[in-house]
Amino acid sequence: MASNKKYWQSVEELNENSPIVETLRNNEFAEEIPVDEFLGDKEALSNSSTSRRDFLKFVGFSTAAASLAACQGPVIKSIPYVVQPEEIIPGVWDYYATTMADGFDFANILVKTREGRPIKVEANKLAGAKFSANGRVHASVLSLYDSLRLKQPLVDSKPATWTTVDAKVAKGLAEAAAGGGQVVVLTGTVASPSTEKLIAEFGAKYGANFKHVVYDAVSSSEALDAYQQVYGERALADYDFGKADVILAVGADFLGDWQGGGFDGGYAQNRIPKKTATKTYMSKHIQIESNMTLSGANADKRIPLTVTEQKYAVVKIFNIVTGSSVPVPAVNKAYEQEVIKAAEQLSKAGTRGVFVTGLDDVNAQLLAFAINQKLASEAFNPGAPRYVRKGDAKAVKQLVADMKAGAVHTLILNNVNPVYTLPNGAEFAEVLKKVKLSVSFTLRNDETAKHTTVAAAAPHYLESWGDVSVAKGYYAVTQPTIRPLFDTKQFQDALLSWSGNTTPYYDYLKAVAATAVAGKTWNQLVHDGVAVSEVAPTTATGAADFSGAAATLASAKAVNGTLELVLYTKTGLGDGQQANNPWLQEFPDPITRTSWDNYITVSKADAEALGLENWNVANGGLNGSVVTVTVNGVELKDVPVIIQPGQAKGTAGLALGYGRAEGMKAEMVVGVNAYTLYNNFNSFQNVKLTKQAGEHEFACVQLQKTLMGRGDIVKETTLADFGAKSPAEWNEMPQVSYDHQEVPAASIDLWESFDRSTGHHFNLSIDLNACTGCGACVIACHAENNVPVVGKSEIRRSRDMHWLRIDRYYSSEETFKGDVEKKDAAHGLMNSIDTFTSMEDPSENPQVVFQPVMCQHCNHAPCETVCPVAATSHGRQGQNHMAYNRCVGTRYCANNCPYKVRRFNWFLYNNNKDFDFNMNDDLGRMVLNPDVVVRSRGVMEKCSFCIQATQAVILQAKRDGRVVGKDEFNDACACSAACSSGAMVFGDVNNAEDPITRLKEDDRAYHLLDHIGTKPNVFYHVKVRNT
Site string for another protein, 884-913 (x = CB under 8 A): xxx---------------------------
Dihedral (CA of 349, 353, 357, 361) sign: positive
Instruction: Report residue 475 CA to chain centroid gap.
Output: 26
879 binding another protein? (CB under 8 A): yes
Using CB under 8 A as the binding rule, whether residue 856 contacts another protein is answered as no
Q: In this structure, are residues 239 and 264 in contact, taking their beta carbons and an 8 Å threshold?
A: no
Q: How far is CA 384 from CA 131, 366, 539, 540, 613, in A?
A: 14, 18, 9, 12, 48
8-state DSSP, 657: S
Please identify which residue in 89, 426, 825, 833 interacts with another protein, judged by CB under 8 A: 89
Residue 359: helix, strand or coil by DSSP?
coil
877: contact with another protein by CB under 8 A: yes
Query: Nearer to another protein by C-beta: 21 or 952?
Result: 952
419 vs 867 by CB, closer to another protein: 867
Q: Does 242 bind another protein (CB under 8 A)?
A: no
Using rule CB under 8 A, residue 1017 touches another protein = no
Q: Which of 957, 997, 998, 1002 binds another protein (CB under 8 A)?
A: 957
Q: In this chain, which stretch among 367-375, 509-517, 735-743, 881-889 interacts with another protein, using CB under 8 A? A: 881-889
126 is a site residue for another protein (CB under 8 A): no
Per-residue interface string for the shown chain with another protein, residues 915-934, x marking contact by CB under 8 A: ----------------xxxx
Closest CA to 504 of 476, 533, 475, 480: 480
Cβ at position 776, least distance to another protein in Å: 23
Write down the least CB distance from residue 67 to another protein, Å: 12
Distance of CA 226 to the CA centre of its chain: 29
How far is 712 from 732, CA to CA, in rounded Å? 8
- Nearest CA to 349 among 250, 277, 283? 283
Asked if 71 touches another protein (CB under 8 A), the answer is yes
Contact residue for another protein among 5, 77, 279, 333 (CB under 8 A): 77
- Specify the stretch interacting with another protein by CB under 8 A; choose among 101-109, 139-147, 717-725, 951-959: 951-959
Is residue 276 within the footprint of another protein (CB under 8 A)? no
**What is the DSSP code (8-state) at residue 948?**
H
User: Nearest approach, Cβ of 448 to another protein (angstroms)?
Assistant: 41
Q: Residue 30 or 883: which CB sits closer to another protein? A: 883
What's at 115, amino acid-wise?
E
Can you tell me which of 69, 75, 543, 693 binds another protein, judged by CB under 8 A? 75
Shortest reach from residue 910's CB to another protein, in Å:
11
Dist. CA 253–CA 767, nearest whole Å: 21
Nearer to another protein, 18 or 991 (CB): 991
Whether the CB-CB separation of 902 and 941 falls below 8 Å is answered with yes
| 710 forms part of the interface with another protein (CB under 8 A) | no
Q: 875, 889, 965, 995: which one contacts another protein (CB under 8 A)?
A: 875
- Applying CB under 8 A, which of residues 68, 83, 208, 277 lies at the interface with another protein? 83
Task: Identify residue 73 by its one-letter amino acid code.
Answer: G
Minimal distance, residue 794 CB to another protein, in Å: 24
Contact 585, 668 (CB under 8 A): yes
- If we measure between CA atoms, which residue out of 1006, 746, 1000, 756 comes closest to residue 874? 756
- Member of 27, 48, 63, 84 binding another protein (CB under 8 A): 84
Residues in the chain: 1027
Quick one: which segment of 47-55, 74-82, 743-751, 836-844 binds another protein (CB under 8 A)? Answer: 74-82
User: Among the candidate windows 86-94, 209-217, 467-475, 643-651, which touches another protein by CB under 8 A?
Assistant: 86-94
By CB under 8 A, tell whether 80 contacts another protein.
yes
| Near another protein by CB under 8 A: residue from 883, 888, 900, 993 | 883
Q: Could you say whether residue 958 binds another protein (CB under 8 A)? A: yes
Per CB under 8 A, 73 contacts another protein: yes
List 483, 959, 992, 1001, residue binding another protein (CB under 8 A) = 959
Helix (H/G/I), strand (E/B), else coil: 226: helix
Residue 456 CA to residue 434 CA, distance in Å, equals 19
Query: Nearer to another protein by C-beta: 154 or 989?
Result: 989
Q: For the residues of 110-145, what is the DSSP string, one character each?
A: EEEEETTEEEEEEE--STT--PPP-HHHHHHHHHHT
Task: Round to whole Å and give the CA distance between 108 and 101.
Answer: 9
The residues near 434 (Cβ < 8 Å, ≥ 6 apart) are 403, 404, 406, 408
Of 409-417, 586-594, 601-609, 877-885, which part binds another protein (CB under 8 A)?
A: 877-885
d(CA 941, CA 912): 18
Give the amino acid at 471. Answer: A
Residues in contact with another protein, counted by CB under 8 A, come to a total of 50
Q: Considering the complex, what minimum distance in angstroms separates the CB of residue 87 from another protein?
A: 13
Query: Does residue 90 touch another protein according to CB under 8 A?
Result: yes
* Residues between 738 and 777 that touch another protein (CB under 8 A): 755, 757-759
d(CA 686, CA 556): 13
8 A C-beta contact, residue 307 and residue 564: yes
Cα dihedral value 49, 54, 56, 62, nearest 10: -100
Instruction: Please tell me whether residue 46 binds another protein under the rule CB under 8 A.
Output: no
CB of 870 to another protein, least distance (A): 8
CA distance 346 to 657: 35
Which one among 951, 965, 997, 998 touches another protein, defined by CB under 8 A? 951
Nearer Cβ to another protein (757/837): 757
Q: Is 44 in the site for another protein (CB under 8 A)?
A: no
CB atoms within 10 A of CB 684: 23
Residue 962 engages another protein in binding (rule: CB under 8 A): yes
Helices 425-432 & 393-404 angle (0-180, nearest 10):
50
* CA 512, 515, 521, 525 torsion-angle sign: negative
What number of other Cβ atoms are within 10 A of residue 78's Cβ?
5
* Closest separation in Å from C-beta 83 to another protein: 4
Please give the residue ranges that form the binding site for another protein (CB under 8 A): 71, 73, 75-84, 89-92, 755, 757-759, 871, 873, 875-877, 879, 881-886, 931-934, 944, 947-948, 951, 954-955, 957-964
